[in-house]
Chains A and B, each alone.
Chain A
Amino acid sequence: MGTIPTRLSTYCLTRRTLVLGSLAAFVTACGTTEPPTPPPAASTPPQASAAPSASAAPQSSSGAQGSTSPKPSTAPSAAAGAQSSVAPTAVAKTGGSLTIRQWTGDPPDLDPFLNVTFRAQEFAGFFYSRLLKFDTGPSVQPNSFIPTPDLAESYQISQDGLTYTFKLRANAKWQNKAPLNGRPVTADDVIYSFERFRKVSPQKGNFDMVKEVKAPDQQTVVFTLNAVFAPFETAIASPLLWIMPKEVIEADGDARKRVIGSGPFIFDRFEKGVQVVAKRNPDYYFAGTPYIDEITLLVVPEDATAVAGLRAKSIDILGLSSSDRIAVAASDPNIKLLEYPQNQLYFMYWRLDAPPFNDIRVRQAFSLALDRDEMIGVLWEGTGYPNSALPAGLRSYYLDPRGADMGPNAKYFKRDVNAAKKLLADAGFAGGLKVPLIASLNAYGNTFNQSVELVIKQLKDAGITADLRPQDYSAYISSTFLGKFEPGTMVWGLETPYQEPHDYLFNMYHPKGGRNHGGVNDAKLTEMIEKQAVTLDKAARKSQIQDIQRYLGEQQHYVMGVAGNTVIATQPWVKNFFYETDYGRGGEYVPKLFLDGKK
């Protein structure tokens, strides 16, 4: 089992030192040139890049595509060696075609504002820009979710944290297709997109914190918030607020028929149930990228078919399940495997307002009964991480629940059956406890189903009998997952992956959270969650978030399991592969890829 040590890139530290010395209050973080590793064949002007400071507001950030700080303060263990396993080569080559198994089913809609499914957002990532996106590069591990400038060349946060001013790139142009015909992307386009998002998107609630958006000039967009919201940069970088083509939408009513963006690729065609094909955008504002002329995003429903395609060299990039990982590693040594900690929470939940789970001792007993090492061994082939209230994949904020930093509450994450029995006895369950266990067994795959069996077995050792009641996924997601289940029942489930700790903490633990499965209403915790949400100082906020994890380690409102590694397979000719996991990754890691040696 790996640990997650702290790591900062040397380059980042150097830049930060220099900038700190010269700018005093305006602290900017590390920047890059574009591209981060091999320089492109076409020259790209190196641009300074900066990101919010670790200490003070106002903050500013600017940069070209590439790594931007703040760097994650934690990085995965060697076991999850991630990006280093696909080290860049010296010279980027242009041309070629790349095939990715992107989906198991069609993106349902080509207009990302009109549909909430992840496939629509993944589709959009290849063609549309965002003001910010998430950084990728050799020093950035997947799941870091570091906001970095995209369409915005730089941005500044006001002293009071209420105003975010984005400066757009002067060279940003719409793709050269009618009716846009390569005209510049302006602040009006951003405002139009934001207003349309708020009007038509089922996700419009994600920007409730925005009071108004203005354009003082055609290169500047100013967002004013109702109240300070520390994760606002992440909200802007999240694959939601795409900059959409006004002319197309006004003519067609939506962006379903014509896809014209300012992103790295130009839409060529969508053959339903088969593929999306895209060509390189030669006018992309990160000059020189993308390197690849044509990409094909395949729709392949079955994993077995996709793995066969990988072996037959018909697929260049493919996500693998744990079992396929072993099979591919054994039979295809040339295929490279990128592994990194999952941004996923396997966890146990219940109604906190009724017995027996309104008793903290019972909840702690359940946590003590779990053998997380056995889970890692059985479910994840020995490579995995115990989750705290945040998943190990969210490395920038994650606190190892069994590490020294966790403090005395680390003991609740280490198996101690006798202590569990004693706590149960103290709570009035000396003879053991029998509880119904809801789990959806037709949604999350074999590993999850095995975890259910393991949980039942481990609880049994502590005198807890879990009476399994499998639930169809659709029923589960529309009832149990929303907290609609009988008090006294426990649930073993999987949480929605988020890019921001706030989203996990607010949604799961705040009384107003959309994923408050157990009805958590803990005044102290609520205050802690609200405080971190308004703390702009990133170091202070990180400390607060880790305090929350320590507090939750004791409270055990939900009992957390373990996370394994996600595995992405690439053919040996795929170079500069620096992956990120958010749905907008098509505009993040793909433009930096190039091919070397593909026949």
Chain B
Amino acid sequence: MQRYILRRLLLTIPSLLGVTLLVSAMVRLLPGDAVALMLQDYNSYAKDAEDLRAQLGLNRPFHEQYLGWIGGIARGDLGRSLRDQTPIRDELATRLPVTFELGLFGMFVGLLIAIPLGVYSAVRQDTLSDYLARSGAIAMLAIPGFWFATLAITLPSLWFRWSPPLRYTRPTEDLGKNLGQMLIPALILGIGLSGSLMRLTRAQMLEVLRQDYIRTSRAKGLNERATIFGHALRNAIIPVVTLLGLQMTVLIGGAVVLESIFVLPGMGRYLLEALNNRDYPVVQAIVLIFAAVIIGVNLIIDLMYAWLDPRIRYS
């Protein structure tokens, strides 16, 4: 087990290096650069551009810029933003918890909707409830989060002259207020996540419910609740957990949009602004963090298999 974990951790290094190299190159392939955008923001004269590029080190060859940044990473320094020269590490320290909380909350909501609904739908296969649940899941998959979010912002303001708070409150300041602020975006994020999870849960449950050991448990007289939740669900859940790991990218993509709409100062907004501003070091740093989180979560999920299914062994 320890060797497995060590091997997986070592494998993350080339993965992360590959991701950063790819992103660093691709973001520079985008037309324009930070300086062109900064100068356009203001009534500046074009002759200032080269001065600014030199100040920011953007006139150096790509490999120098990349190696310099990677060297910083090795020393624990994520670099500085081109646009405001602030240390990216400081910025991430305040923004990461916001996205983490939203993601966790959204995931919780998603599971809370998907698992019971998937199980219920499987148990009541081909009934009206099943059709409704499946239709609901399709709708959750089909309706984009930004549409839900825009409605959630606009309609209450028109009907009740109410809008979600425009100032983010940290949990350390007022936990209740913070959770209240996170509730609507987390619901929207969770609803978006739950469609595919619900469908997979249902499909897996249907398969498991037809297995011999389920028939045996029922024949033994085990009550239905214990059969479903004690035997069927536990065996059906492994692919769902795998999908949950893969859905991390959906969570991150959703956070980018929802943080903007609900004025949450998280990583998603930071990434969006950095991309718009061609702030290369920030984009690289955020992608590095996201890649590390995705790899880390999937590693944890892989390790959970053994707990969910004792037959699984790591070598």
Which positions in A face B, CB cutoff 8 Å?
105-106, 108-109, 114-119, 121, 202-206, 238, 256, 271-275, 296, 298-302, 304-309, 311-315, 331, 471-479, 481-482, 496-498, 503, 507, 514-515, 583
A308 touches B157 (CB 8 A): yes
A–B complex contacts, Cβ < 8 Å, 10 sampled: A109-B83, A116-B42, A116-B44, A202-B38, A273-B265, A298-B166, A304-B154, A305-B261, A312-B157, A474-B37
Known A116-B44, A311-B158; judge A274-B265 contact (CB<8 A): yes
Chain B, Cβ-Cβ closest to A301: B260
Give the interface SS of chain B, mostly helix, strand, loop or mixed.
loop
A109 touches B41 (CB 8 A): no
Contacts of B224 in A (CB 8 A): none
Known A299-B263, A474-B278; judge A116-B95 contact (CB<8 A): no
B33 at the A/B interface (Cβ < 8 Å)? yes
Contacts of B153 in A (CB 8 A): 302, 304-305, 308
B43 touches A205 (CB 8 A): no
Q: For residue B10, give the distance in angstroms from its CB to the closest CB of chain A.
A: 36
A118 touches B41 (CB 8 A): yes
A514 touches B45 (CB 8 A): yes
Contacts of B168 in A (CB 8 A): 271, 273-274
B30 at the A/B interface (Cβ < 8 Å)? yes
B157 touches A206 (CB 8 A): no
Contacts of A514 in B (CB 8 A): 44-47
Q: For residue A100, give the distance in angstroms from its CB to the closest CB of chain B.
A: 11
B38 touches A115 (CB 8 A): yes
A477 touches B166 (CB 8 A): no
B263 touches A300 (CB 8 A): yes
B239 at the A/B interface (Cβ < 8 Å)? no
Known A300-B166, A305-B166; judge A475-B32 contact (CB<8 A): yes
Known A205-B47, A498-B43; judge A474-B38 contact (CB<8 A): no
B83 touches A274 (CB 8 A): no
Chain B, Cβ-Cβ closest to A473: B32
Contacts of A121 in B (CB 8 A): 42
Which positions in B face A, CB cutoff 8 Å?
30-33, 36-48, 51-52, 55, 81, 83-86, 91, 94-95, 150, 153-154, 156-158, 161-168, 260-266, 269-270, 273, 278
Residue among B43, B55, B81, B94 with the most chain A CB within 10 A?
B43
Query: Which of A271, A312, A496, A583 touches B163 (beta carbons < 8 Å)?
Result: A312
Query: Which of B39, B260, B278 touches A202 (beta carbons < 8 Å)?
Result: B39
A117 touches B157 (CB 8 A): no
B38 touches A117 (CB 8 A): yes
B265 touches A114 (CB 8 A): no
Known A116-B44, A498-B43; judge A477-B32 contact (CB<8 A): yes
B48 touches A202 (CB 8 A): yes
Residue among A304, A473, A475, A583 with the most chain B CB within 10 A?
A304
A204 touches B163 (CB 8 A): no
Chain A, Cβ-Cβ closest to B270: A273
Contacts of A205 in B (CB 8 A): 44-45, 47-48
The 10 closest A-B pairs by CB, nearest first: A474-B32, A273-B265, A475-B31, A108-B84, A308-B157, A478-B36, A308-B163, A312-B163, A514-B45, A311-B157
Query: Which of A206, A271, A476 touches B45 (beta carbons < 8 Å)?
Result: A206
Taken together as a complex, chains A and B put the C-alpha atoms of A52 and B123 apart, in Å, by: 85
Known A116-B39, A117-B38, A121-B42; judge A298-B278 contact (CB<8 A): no
A309 touches B166 (CB 8 A): yes
Known A304-B261, A309-B166, A477-B36; judge A272-B48 contact (CB<8 A): no
Contacts of B264 in A (CB 8 A): 273
Known contacts A117-B38, A473-B32; can you find 7 more A-B pairs with CB under 8 A? Answer: A203-B44, A272-B91, A273-B168, A299-B263, A311-B158, A478-B33, A478-B36
B167 touches A298 (CB 8 A): yes
Q: For residue B179, give the distance in angstroms from its CB to the closest CB of chain A.
A: 17
Q: For residue A363, give the distance in angstroms from its CB to the closest CB of chain B.
A: 24
Q: For residue A121, give the distance in angstroms from its CB to the closest CB of chain B.
A: 7
Query: Which of A105, A471, A474, A583 touches B36 (beta carbons < 8 Å)?
Result: A474
Taken together as a complex, chains A and B put the C-alpha atoms of A298 and B167 apart, in Å, by: 8
A106 touches B273 (CB 8 A): yes
Taken together as a complex, chains A and B put the C-alpha atoms of A313 and B163 apart, in Å, by: 9
Query: Which of B31, B85, B262, B273 touches A109 (beta carbons < 8 Å)?
Result: B85
Q: For residue B315, give the distance in angstroms from its CB to the closest CB of chain A.
A: 46
Known A274-B168, A274-B265, A514-B46; judge A116-B41 contact (CB<8 A): yes
Taken together as a complex, chains A and B put the C-alpha atoms of A162 and B40 apart, in Å, by: 31
A496 touches B52 (CB 8 A): no
Chain B, Cβ-Cβ closest to A119: B41
B154 touches A308 (CB 8 A): yes
